[in-house]
């Protein structure tokens, strides 16, 4: 079995190191690792402790100017929140006291980010909706 927690720690550390100056190439590789883990160990990656950390990192990256980084972040977000569980996998996550599903809660976060940031995300509204609905 893959050491999912250790890999997530390394991926998130690589994404954080360097802040907004972090190379887009490194970020794309990090998203590739996250996608690989999700494909190989879906039930472990979808555990709230792991999934939520990946979601927060992907949401934070959306503020970067590189379109390809935003596309990969959205692809990961969509897989984490809207993925139907397969045999032996966790059921779709439920968030908060109001029984709102994770997809709705994540969309609300995205729309809040878009409302708060006039420039970076407003031009990506269509891309965001399209990727989440894929």
Q: 67: which 2 tokens?
A: 């379109």
Is the separation of the CB atoms in 48 and 93 below 8 Å? yes
Q: What's the total number of domains in the chain?
A: 1
Residues in the chain: 134
Q: 57: which 2 tokens?
A: 């990192």
Domain range spanning residue 97? 4-133
User: How much is the pLDDT for 82?
Assistant: 74
DSSP string computed for 45-92: HTSHHHHHHHHHHHHHHTTSS-HHHHHHHHHHHHHHHHPPP-TTSPPP
Q: What is the crossing angle of helices 67-82 and 48-61, to 10°? A: 150
Q: Is the pTM here over 0.85, yes or no? A: no
Using the Cα atoms of residue 45, residue 46, residue 51 and residue 52 in order, give the sign of their dihedral: negative
Task: Please state, in angstroms and rounded to a whole number, the distance separating the CA atoms of residues 7 and 12.
Answer: 9
More confident residue, 33 or 16: 33
User: How much is the pLDDT for 131?
Assistant: 74
User: How much is the pLDDT for 10?
Assistant: 94
């Amino acid at each position: 079995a893959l050491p999912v927690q250790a890999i997530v720690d390394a991926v998130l550390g690589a994404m954080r190191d360097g802040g907004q100056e972090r190379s887009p190439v490194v970020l794309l590789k990090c998203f590739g690792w996250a996608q690989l883990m999700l494909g190989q160990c879906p039930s472990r990656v979808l555990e709230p402790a792991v999934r939520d950390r990946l979601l927060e990192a992907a949401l934070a990256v959306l503020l970067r100017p590189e379109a390809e980084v935003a596309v990969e972040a959205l692809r990961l977000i969509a897989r984490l929140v809207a993925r139907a569980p397969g045999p032996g996998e966790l059921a779709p996550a439920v968030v908060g006291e109001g029984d709102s599903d994770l997809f709705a809660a994540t969309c609300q976060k995205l729309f809040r980010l878009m409302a708060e940031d006039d420039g970076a995300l407003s031009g990506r509204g269509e891309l965001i909706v399209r990727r989440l609905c894929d």
